[in-house]
Structures are given as structure tokens and as C-alpha cells.
Structure 1
Amino acid sequence: MRRRTFLQAGVGAGIAATAGCLGVFETRAAGIPPIPENRPDAVYVPSHEEGMAMAGMGTAGDYRFGLMYSFAHRFWNVNGDSVEKTGTESAGQDAVHLMTAVWDPETGLSLPETGMSVDVERDGEVVTQETIYPMLSQVMGFHYGANFELDGDGVYDVTVSVGGMSTRKTGGFEERFTDPASATIEFDYSRQRKDGLSFQVRDDAGEPGALEANTTMMDADSMAPTPADLPGRVVGQGKSNDAVLVTTALDTPPEGVEGDGQYLAVSARTPYNGLVVPAMGLTATVERGSERVFDGELVRTFDPDLGYHYGAAMDGVESGDDVTLSVTTQPQTARHEGYETAFGGLMGGMPDVTFTAE
């Protein structure tokens, strides 16, 4: 049984940058541009945009899985307050970035916090088997990904496995996504097809903004509901290091939430594309004049109508109340280029969001 090296990240700065061909499609052989200089402490347009291709899909239990691939590339891993670029100086010719998504086949909603591992086999022999990173990218939104070195052209059996969703589940999701499951997807890899994927150097690299999202390639919806589509009464919103926190109050908590009264829910999303920002620690205080009517944790929760959000039962929010949202832990997800300086990220810190409830 062979076990090959799992590449902890993508191609580093040792590869020459493309020069003089900004804003046009190039081949991957032209090289990866450097990280933009003077990038903002916020979401920004990355140095380049890579094409990706579908490898296949599978279904097991409550879950639908998808597997995609692209060029191996750099990304930033997050562990607590630590944010580090994960990269090697070079990658082999058959290095790929494998991306997996898992979603509810009934609603299409992407499932964060399942835990994901990937086993890659060829002709019955193990090529690699690893737990891979939860990630945010401007194109795919939330997914799981890492770089792998394959053994050249051929058919691989890729088994994707989840251990069940650790997030609190409410409403129609209360009894679902609790059991582990796995699906094996056949991946017919060709270096020529991989090298033929598009590769665009951006002439607006480093500017505030984002690549256009394309979250429908695997039917996995990682978009947060628009404020107009959120249930309840939207009472306010604000930004914390470019994470947009939209707060709504429901008359009663969803099934699966302990407590009475209203339900305060915060839906966190990226600017520009409105993609879900999961895996934060978040608290809220609600003050009415000199009285503090709520002060506590907003629990990570997954609901068919609210989507992935942070919520708690409370006495109620009235118009004119002062609301403060405090991020206690930045999102514990790796980031593709363009997100590493936002949502805490390399620059650190997510300021409180304060507003007067509408």
C-alpha cells in the first residue's frame, strides 16, 4: 500500500508571475502572479482567477456530495487567531486542488461544519487519505478543499466522508445530518484537461471587490438569504471587518431551540456576493434605555428558512433598542486569496457592530 504526500497548500512565490497580459486568459504555464501589494484590510479582487472542472457527484444518507478540481494553489489556514499562508515553493505536474461540497439534496443548502475527509485510491491502492480544510472562496463560497499530488493520468476512486453536522439544527433540520456517511466518486484525471483550464490574470487585482460567485456548479447553495427573504423582522445590520451581519427577530424560536420569547438571529455573509460566513463565535447585547434585556451567546444554528446563522431565544427586541454584536472568535475556515485579509484574517480583529433596532 502506498501513501503519497499530501500537499499542505499551493504553489508559492517561487513561480514567475505573468507580465504584460493583464485581464486576458492565459495558460497555467504562464505562472501564478504574486499576491497583490498594498491589498486592503478587507475583501479584495485576487491576483488571478482559475477555472475549475467537475469530477463527479454522489449521494449517501442525508447528504449529496460533489467533487471538483483546479490547479494547486496557495490559501490561508485559520486556527484560532493564527492565520498562515499554507504553501510550498513548487508543486508537481500532477498536483491539483480538490474541492468538495456537501449539501442537503432537498433544499440545496450547503452544510458547513460536517467535518470532511478524502481518501484517494487508484487500482485498489491508497494514494492519499486526509482530513481536508473547511474553506471560503469568492467563486465557490463555503466548501472543503486542499492540494493533492496525484500519480499521473488515470481513473481514481475518491471517497468523501462526513462525520455528521455538529451545528445546532432547527425546524425541519432538527433530526437530520447527525449520522456519518461517505460516497465514492470516480475521478477520471487527465493532466492535459487540467492544464487546459482557464487562468485569468486580473488587471483590478488588489482593489476592493470580489470575483463573481458561481455556487451552482454542484447544486450546493452557499448564499445567505437576502434581508428581504429572511423570516421575522430585520432590525438592523452592520459590518465587522467586511463580514456583513444582518439581524432579524422572530416572534417565536424555531423548533429545537430551548427558551421562550422572541428569537434573535444573525445571518453573516460576505460583501459583494452574499456568501455565508460560518464558524464564528458571536455574542449580542440588547439594551433598552438603562436596562440590559439580553446579554449572551448567539449559537451557531442551521435552519431551512434562516439558513446557517447565529441565534438565541430572548425576551424581545423593540424599536429603539441598542444592539451590539461582538465577534469572540473569527470564522474558523481557511481562505482563498482575496479573503485572507477580511473576517479577522491576517489583519486580525473584528470590531463590534452596533445599531439601533428598527
Structure 2
Amino acid sequence: MNRRQFLAGAGLAGATVLAGCGSLSSQSTRAPPLVEDRPDATYRPTHAEGMGMAGMAQAGEYMVGLSYSFPHRFWTVTGTTAEKVDIRSEDSVHLMATVWDPETEMVLPVSAGLSITVERDGETVADKSPWPMISQNMGFHYGDNYALDGDGVYQLSVRVNGMGERRLGAFEGRFGEAGEATVEFDFARNTRDQLSFEEFPETQGERAAVDLMNMDMVPTSQVPEVSALPGTVLGTDKGSDGVYAVTWLQDAGFLAESESYLAVSARTPYNRVPLPMMSLDGTVESDGETVFDDALTAAVHSELGYHYGAIVETTAQEPSVGIDVVAPPQVSRHEGYETAFLTTPSFSFGGN
């Protein structure tokens, strides 16, 4: 299969901090030294931070939960390169937004992103689009470090852009429009400093991950177990530590009689967090004939979760499938994921 040239998108999260102060006391204690000789894979980080809720509201068809923690380092990704973002002295919180469908409670990675404007007493404190990112304890979310103007009540206005991903099944015809909401966030540095901060000196660097948080108000982002995927699972494989499960559907409600559906569910090991914003190519062969050779489309479906797929004009029962990863997940990473999911492997599945 010929790989298509991938041009990494710029401007996913351009940021402009307009005002603010409020440095983090004892900041160095919140950033233990990184693990030496980190593996090119998921690993147990040096620490895990607790979080507090800043607010929750409905934004059009979306539900949005806003939470916060200590400012922390993370890594942005362009193409196959991860670049570290350090904590600044003026950063007050790491602000996080989770977007989900209120009917199914499925977390929605929206490639078009969202923006957050922070205001206090009618004045803009910060206006930026947080990065799409993954973390071991929170899964997929949008986040960035924000500088606030001391303790007080802030208005957080969120705009979630309409989804460009294909919406299938229960999601068909939904989430095409943007949604907006505003919540009040009563920030106190003392409350932030009482959030949990657990270090792992004995296990940091091991090939493992910390558990996802169990949050009462906000769902966590997980794709189904491989055994729970609909259709005929043609196989699973690993590349750059990501797990790729391929399934073949022939009786889905969105298909015509002459059509089948190829779906690739990409997820992290250990916690099954979806790996969004990738570029994948696929080929499908049946009886020695190529019936599909094209890019796969990011999509959401209530049973498949977030995945990459294509409608194929064939009724073959178990075809031969090839998958090329053209670009790895273009999402930022918290510590423990920054060295994983950065290569472009190829896989073959199915066939008799």
C-alpha cells in the first residue's frame, strides 16, 4: 500500500494568555525528576495528581466537565516528535475539559477542538484552546496550564466545535453544531494545594500504568474490550505500544445490503483509552481482488466507540485486511505516554 504524505496540522491549540499571575508555591516539589532511560512505550510515571471539579454544564448537544489540578509538564506531538512543555512560574492550575454525549455517556474526542475563555469581574484573564491530550489517570481530555489572577471566582466559557468525525448509529445526525456553556469556578490556592499528589519511587519507569480515575460526575474515556466489539474480530496487533483491534461488520443498521464495514479500534494498553487523531490507510482483499484501498475515517459509534473505519462495497465474510499507520496520534501526552505511540507500523489481518 502506498503511504499518503501526512502533513501534521498546526494550530490545534494556539494559546494567548492576556493577563494573570499566581505562581505555584513549592513548584519544584510538584515535578519530580523524570525517569532515566524511559522505555519507548507506556510506563509508570513518577507521580499521579488528584483533581478538583471546577464545574459542569451542557453545551448544546454536549456535556462538558471542567476540572483542575496542579500545573504540570506535558508533551505536545507534531508528526512523530514529542516536545516537552515545562511548568511556568506564573501557572496556577492545569485546567482540563472532558466532553461527552449525555445519552450514552461516551467521551467524545472532537478533532475540531474547543476553546476556554477565563474571565474575572468582566476582564479576560486567559483565552486559549487547550490541547487534546491523554493521561493515564484521566484518559482523553483537553488540557493546558493556565495563569489565574489569584484567589476568587472566575467565569469559564467553553465553546465545543462541531464534530468532523463520522457519526454512526445512535450518533448519526448529532454533534454537527458547536455548543457553548459558562460555569463559575471558585479558585483558592489553598484548596488546590490540598489535592492529592502521590509519587511512585519504587515502580516509576516500569512497563505498566496507573489506573484510570473513578469520577462520579464525569465519565472516563475507554473503548470496548476486544471481545465486546461488534462484528467479526479479524485480529489484534501492537505497534509502538498501541493496541489495534480490527473488526468486520456486515449487519450494521447504517449499511446497505451490498456493503460491509471495516473498523480499527486503536487503544492504549492497560486502560483501553482511545488513541484519537491518527491517520490510517487500509486495504481490503477478497478472493485475490482488492476491493478497497484508501484512507480510513475517524468515527464514533455507540458499540464500537471512537475508531477508524470505511464502508466497503463487498459481502466477503472474512477478507484479508492491511492497515498502515500513516501518522500516530496527534494528541499531547501526560507523563508515562510521551514516549509511546510515536511510530508508523503496518499490520495484516484476516484471510483464509
TM-score category (smaller protein): 0.7 to 0.9
| Aligned 1:8-27 pairs, distance under 5 A | none
Report if the CA contact (8 A) 1:215-1:222 is conserved: no
CA-to-partner distance for each residue in 1:69-126, whole Å, 9 max, x for gaps? Answer: 00101101112333211124x423x611000011100000111124110010111111
Match for residue 64 of structure 1? 63
Rounded to whole Å, the distance in 2 between the matches of 1:219 and 1:194 is 19
Rounded to whole Å, the distance in 1 between the matches of 2:102 and 2:61 is 8
Rounded to whole Å, the distance in 1 between the matches of 2:207 and 2:21 is 33
Q: 1:351 aligns with which of 339, 345, 348?
A: 345
1:4 aligns with 2:2: no
**Is the partner of 1:100 in helix, strand or coil?**
strand
Q: Report how far residue 318 of structure 1 moved.
A: 4.1
Q: Report how far residue 283 of structure 1 moved.
A: 1.5
Which one is further off, 189-198 or 258-267? 258-267
- For normalisation by structure 2, the TM-score amounts to 0.87
Residues 258 and 242 of structure 1: CA distance in aligned 2, closer, same or farther (over 3 Å):
farther
Report if the CA contact (8 A) 1:253-1:260 is conserved: no
Report if the CA contact (8 A) 2:96-2:141 is conserved: yes
Match for residue 110 of structure 1? 107
Match for residue 132 of structure 1? 130
Match for residue 293 of structure 2? 295
Match for 2:164: what amino acid? Answer: S
Q: 1:145 aligns with which of 143, 146, 152?
A: 143
Q: Report how far residue 6 of structure 1 moved.
A: 10
Rounded to whole Å, the distance in 1 between the matches of 2:274 and 2:315 is 25
Q: Report how far residue 353 of structure 1 moved.
A: 2.2
Match for residue 22 of structure 1? none
Report if the CA contact (8 A) 2:166-2:297 is conserved: yes
Q: Report how far residue 313 of structure 1 moved.
A: 1.6
Match for residue 329 of structure 2? 331
CA-to-partner distance for each residue in 1:10-34, whole Å, 9 max, x for gaps? Answer: 99xxx9xxxxxxxxxxx97734211
Rounded to whole Å, the distance in 2 between the matches of 1:124 and 1:83 is 37
Report if the CA contact (8 A) 1:300-1:309 is conserved: yes
CA-to-partner distance for each residue in 1:29-76, whole Å, 9 max, x for gaps? Answer: 734211111111110011111111111101122111101000101101
Q: How many residues align?
A: 333
- For normalisation by structure 1, the TM-score amounts to 0.86
Match for residue 228 of structure 2? 229
Match for residue 313 of structure 1? 311
**Is the partner of 2:89 in helix, strand or coil?**
coil
Q: Report how far residue 338 of structure 1 moved.
A: 0.6
Rounded to whole Å, the distance in 2 between the matches of 1:330 and 1:258 is 31
Rounded to whole Å, the distance in 1 between the matches of 2:146 and 2:315 is 50
Q: Report how far residue 356 of structure 1 moved.
A: 3.6
Rounded to whole Å, the distance in 2 between the matches of 1:238 and 1:218 is 34
**Is the partner of 2:86 in helix, strand or coil?**
strand
Gaps of 5+ in 1: 16-26
Match for residue 52 of structure 1? 51
Q: Report how far residue 219 of structure 1 moved.
A: 2.8
Rounded to whole Å, the distance in 1 between the matches of 2:84 and 2:146 is 16
Report if the CA contact (8 A) 1:252-1:260 is conserved: no
1:214 aligns with 2:205: no
Residues 183 and 56 of structure 1: CA distance in aligned 2, closer, same or farther (over 3 Å):
same
Match for 2:152: what amino acid? Answer: G
**Is the partner of 1:178 in helix, strand or coil?**
coil
Rounded to whole Å, the distance in 2 between the matches of 1:6 and 1:130 is 16
| Aligned 1:187-266 pairs, distance under 5 A | 187-202=185-200, 203-214=202-213, 216-252=215-251, 254-255=253-254, 260-266=258-264
Gaps of 5+ in 2: 1-16
Match for 2:282: what amino acid? Answer: A
Q: Report how far residue 144 of structure 1 moved.
A: 0.2
Report if the CA contact (8 A) 1:102-1:220 is conserved: no
> Over aligned residues, Cα RMSD in angstroms?
2.5
Q: Report how far residue 258 of structure 1 moved.
A: 8.5
Rounded to whole Å, the distance in 2 between the matches of 1:270 and 1:55 is 27
Q: Report how far residue 252 of structure 1 moved.
A: 3.9
Match for 1:351: what amino acid? Answer: P
Q: 2:89 aligns with which of 82, 88, 91?
A: 91
Q: 2:266 aligns with which of 265, 268, 273?
A: 268
